[in-house]
Amino acid sequence: MKRLGNNRNLTGLLFVSPWIIGFLVFTAFPLLYSLFLSFQEVKITTDGIKTNFVSFGNYEYAFSVDGTFVDRVLKYLEEMVISVPIIIVFSLIIALLLNQKIKFRGLFRTIFFLPVIIASGPVIKELIDQGITTIPSIEQYAIYQALNDNPDGFFNGILLYLIKNLIVILWYSGVQILIFLAALQKMDKQIFEAAKIDGASNWEFFWKITLPSLKPMIIVNLIYTIVTYSVFSLNPIIEHIQKNMFKVDTGYGYASALSWIYFLIIAAALAIAVGVMTVKRMKKYT
C-alpha cells in the first residue's frame, strides 16, 4: 500500500511538473532577477550586461527626483478610489437586472461581456482617440461647461473624471457582472420564500438577504477590479516604466525599482480594500 501511495504521488508530481517548471523559469526567476536589478545600475554594453550596486539609490531617485512618477502614482490612486466602487456598484446593478426573468436575457449577458473580449490595449486606445469612450455631445451641456471652468475643486475633478471616462469605467465591468450573476443564481430560493411569507419587501430582500450573501463575491470582484485596473496596458504608470527601461540615464535597474514600488502600492491597496471589507463583515457577525 505504501508503495502504491508513492507511485500515485510520483504520478501526480509528473503531471504538475510542467506547471512547476514553467512557473520557476518564466515567473519566479524573472521576478527575483528584477528585484536584484532594482538595486543595481544596469548598463547594456557590447560585452554584455554590466551592473553596479547602488543600494536604494533607484528607489530614492523615484521619490526625490522623478516627479512624473510620483504625480502619476497619485493620479492613479485618486482614479482608482473613484473608479473601483463605481465598477462594483454598476456590476451589481446589472447582475440583479439580468437575474430577472426577462426576454433575451442571454443576449444581454453577451452584450455586457463582449467588451471584455475585444478590450485589448490597441482597441481601447483607438476608441479613446476617436472620442467614443466619452458621453456624446457632453461638451454642449451647461453642467459640463461649469465643471470645466472650475476643475480645481475636489468634487468638480471627480465629476469631470466620471464624465470623461464613464464608458471606459463601464467597460471594465463584464467579468464582475458574471461573477455576481453566478452568485445570485446559486442563492437558496427557500430563504426568499420564507422572508416573503414573513412580509419582507423587495428592499428588505436586497439589504437583509441578497447583499450579505454577496459579500464574499464583492471581495473577489474588488480584488479582480483593482488588479485589472492597475495592470491595464494603457496605464500611465506602466507606460512610464516602459519608457525608463530604454533611457540611457535610468535603464533596466531604475525601471525594475519602479516596478517593485508599483507592485507594493497595488499590494497595499488590495490589503486595505480586503481588510476593510473583512473587518466590516466580522463586526456584523460579532
pLDDT tens, position by position, 128-167: 666 666 666 666 666 666 766 666 666 777 777 777 777 7
Residue 9 is predicted with a pLDDT of 78
pLDDT tens, position by position, 19-67: 999 999 999 999 999 999 999 888 887 777 888 898 899 999 999 988 8
Residue 261 is predicted with a pLDDT of 94
Rounded-to-integer distance, Cα 168 and Cα 131, Å: 11
Tell whether the model's pLDDT for residue 271 goes beyond 70.
Answer: yes
Rounded-to-integer distance, Cα 253 and Cα 255, Å: 5
Q: At what angle do helices 57-64 and 251-284 cross, to 10 degrees?
A: 80
Instruction: Name the grid cell of 238.
Output: 506602466
Cβ(144)–Cβ(156) under 8 Å? no
> Does 32 or 208 have the greater pLDDT score?
32
Rounded-to-integer distance, Cα 89 and Cα 218, Å: 10
Average pLDDT over residues 207-226: 89
Q: Which residues are within 8 A (CB) of 95 and not within 5 positions of it... i.e. 6 or more apart?
A: 176, 177, 178, 180, 181, 184
Instruction: Identify the band that residue 7 occupies on the pLDDT scale cut at 50, 70 and 90.
Output: confident
Instruction: Identify the band that residue 255 occupies on the pLDDT scale cut at 50, 70 and 90.
Output: very high
Q: C-alpha distances in angstroms, 48 versus 37, 43, 44, 173, 254?
A: 15, 8, 6, 45, 18
Cβ(178)–Cβ(113) under 8 Å? yes
Q: What is the 3-state secondary structure (H, E, C) of 200-258?
A: CCHHHHHHHHHHHHCHHHHHHHHHHHHHHHHHCCCCHHHHHHHHHHCCCCCHHHHHHHH
Residue 125 is predicted with a pLDDT of 67
pLDDT tens, position by position, 172-206: 788 888 899 889 888 888 887 888 887 878 888 88
Rounded-to-integer distance, Cα 104 and Cα 110, Å: 10
Please state the length of the chain.
286
Q: C-alpha distances in angstroms, 45 versus 12, 33, 42, 259?
A: 45, 19, 10, 23
Cβ(156)–Cβ(150) under 8 Å? yes
Cβ(259)–Cβ(230) under 8 Å? no
Tell whether the model's pLDDT for residue 70 goes beyond 70.
Answer: yes
Rounded-to-integer distance, Cα 286 and Cα 270, Å: 24
> What's the gap between Cα 249 and its chain centre?
31
Radius of gyration of the chain, Cα coordinates, nearest whole angstrom: 24
Residue 2 is predicted with a pLDDT of 58
Can you name the residues that pair with 52 across neighbouring β-strands? 41
Q: What pTM was computed for the model?
A: 0.81
Strands 40-45 and 48-53: antiparallel
